[in-house]
């Protein structure tokens, strides 16, 4: 494993920003750190970059003790949400910066630097724009320059902290696709911080979900969906319905519905977790009161009340739920659900 983070803790005063965090990334892996604001994602990234020192724990990369190395020795490429490019330098000079400031003995010749800049401009699809100044670029183009600058030093690892956070949704989606492409081309081990679950699940090979400085689960997007470790993970990955229920003698009871409990279900009081999009009208199921049915072109948005929770779901016109009428009480069966002890 090139990256091995073991038992990292970091407090600011009495506040524990990271509490016993361990994770590993394989060579060339794209790992996302996903969690709500304040969960410790940036703190962990700053520790990897050498901008922050942990109180306890170790970080190894390629079997070297990272914590004993300076940021420069670690040879990391960094991109932040607001990575201010040097405003008075052209795009080409911004990209070349990391190479030009190297000590003379490892500094490439000007011709080699110029060639490397051209290659990077092509890679980030900004060919011909090397002579522009940052103010003459769009926000998305500036972040691509920031990435080219980070890649110029041939980093051993890329650390990205909400690099697309300040951009609008469409540009974000385009850059996401583009970043994944760049990663496939370069194969650099990458750690990407975001609070946007769609971004994390789209981009990463594996996602670490953080809450209150603790890793809740580290898994592939598929496994996070299929086997969430706890209700927080389930809730964080998308619209969720969480209802209290009871499992007794192999039977599950929840909101007026009784069914066979799946093998291995916890006994006693449980939290029943499913997704509104996984519910279909059925003879047997959760009791649901239809609140509103709003047609929107080829889709219909249905809002229901199940127990004490209101959920909504978007369906095609031919979906059985699209025929529901406001005010009626129907039964909805979940295609899949998870049970956690309460
Ligand atoms: N230098 C600092 N001094 C004091 N507290 C800090 C410092 N840096 C971070 N914290 C606190 O540590 C906690 C974790 O912060 P961190 O920035 O790592 O969270 P995050 O998950 O990246 O959040 P966001 O998505 O909002 O950036 C927060 O409560 C923050 O206020």
Q: How far is the CA of 34 from the centre of ligand 1 (A)?
A: 14
Q: Which atom of ligand 1 is nearest to the CA of 18?
A: 14
| Homologous superfamily (CATH) for 3-231 | P-loop containing nucleotide triphosphate hydrolases (3.40.50.300)
Q: How far is the CA of 49 from the centre of ligand 1 (A)?
A: 15
Q: Please tell me the predicted confidence (pLDDT) of residue 83.
A: 62
Order of strands, sheet of 64-65, starting from the edge strand that comes earlier in the sequence = 15-25, 3-12, 56-61, 64-65
Q: Please tell me the predicted confidence (pLDDT) of residue 129.
A: 94
> How far is the C-alpha of 14 from the C-alpha of 311, rounded, in Å?
38
Q: What are the structural domain ranges in the chain?
A: 3-231, 239-341
Count Cα atoms within 13 angstroms, Cβ side, for 188: 24
Q: How far is the CA of 15 from the centre of ligand 1 (A)?
A: 10
14 lines ligand 1 (CB under 6 A): no
195 lines ligand 1 (CB under 6 A): yes
Q: Nearest CA to 98 among 60, 135, 147, 48?
A: 147
Q: How far is the CA of 12 from the centre of ligand 1 (A)?
A: 9
> How far is the C-alpha of 196 from the C-alpha of 19, rounded, in Å?
22
> How far is the C-alpha of 279 from the C-alpha of 321, rounded, in Å?
9
130 lines ligand 1 (CB under 6 A): no
Q: Which of 43, 51, 80, 164 to mutate to test the pocket of ligand 1 (most atoms within 8 A of CB)?
A: 43
Q: How far is the CA of 320 from the centre of ligand 1 (A)?
A: 46
Q: Which residue's CA lies nearest to atom 3 of ligand 1?
A: 12
For the question of an ipTM over 0.90, the answer is yes
Weakly modelled stretches of the chain, pLDDT under 50: none
Q: pTM of the entire structure?
A: 0.90
Q: Please tell me the predicted confidence (pLDDT) of residue 11.
A: 97
Q: How far is the CA of 7 from the centre of ligand 1 (A)?
A: 18
């Amino acid at each position: 494993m090139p990256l091995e983070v073991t038992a990292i803790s970091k407090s600011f005063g009495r506040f524990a920003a990271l509490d016993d965090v361990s994770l590993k990334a394989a060579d060339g892996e794209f790992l996302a750190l996903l969690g709500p604001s304040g969960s410790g994602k940036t703190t962990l990234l700053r520790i990897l970059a050498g901008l922050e020192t942990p109180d306890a724990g170790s970080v190894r990369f390629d079997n070297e003790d990272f914590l004993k190395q300076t940021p420069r020795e670690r040879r990391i490429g960094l991109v932040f949400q607001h990575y201010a490019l040097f405003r008075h330098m052209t795009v080409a000079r911004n990209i070349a910066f990391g190479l030009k400031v190297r000590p003379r003995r490892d500094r490439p010749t000007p011709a080699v630097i110029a060639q490397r800049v051209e290659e990077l401009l092509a890679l980030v699809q900004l060919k011909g724009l090397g002579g522009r100044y940052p103010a003459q670029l769009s926000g998305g183009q500036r972040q691509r320059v920031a990435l080219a600058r980070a890649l110029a030093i041939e980093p051993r690892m890329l650390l990205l902290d909400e690099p697309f956070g300040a951009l609008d949704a469409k540009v974000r989606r385009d850059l996401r696709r583009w970043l994944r492409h760049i990663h496939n081309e370069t194969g650099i081990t990458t750690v990407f911080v975001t609070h946007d679950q769609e971004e994390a699940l789209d981009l990463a090979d594996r996602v670490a979900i953080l809450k209150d400085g603790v890793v809740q689960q580290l898994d592939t997007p598929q496994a996070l969906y299929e086997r969430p470790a706890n209700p927080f993970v389930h809730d964080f990955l998308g619209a969720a319905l969480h209802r209290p229920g009871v499992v007794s003698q192999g039977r599950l009871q929840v909101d007026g519905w009784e069914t066979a409990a799946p093998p291995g279900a916890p006994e006693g009081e449980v939290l029943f977790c499913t997704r509104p999009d996984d519910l279909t009208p059925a003879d047997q199921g959760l009791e649901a009161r239809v609140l509103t049915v709003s047609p929107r072109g080829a889709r219909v948005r249905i809002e229901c009340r199940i127990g004490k929770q209101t959920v909504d779901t978007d369906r095609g016109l031919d979906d059985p739920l699209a025929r529901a009428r406001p005010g009626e009480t129907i039964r909805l069966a979940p295609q899949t659900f998870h049970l956690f002890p309460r």
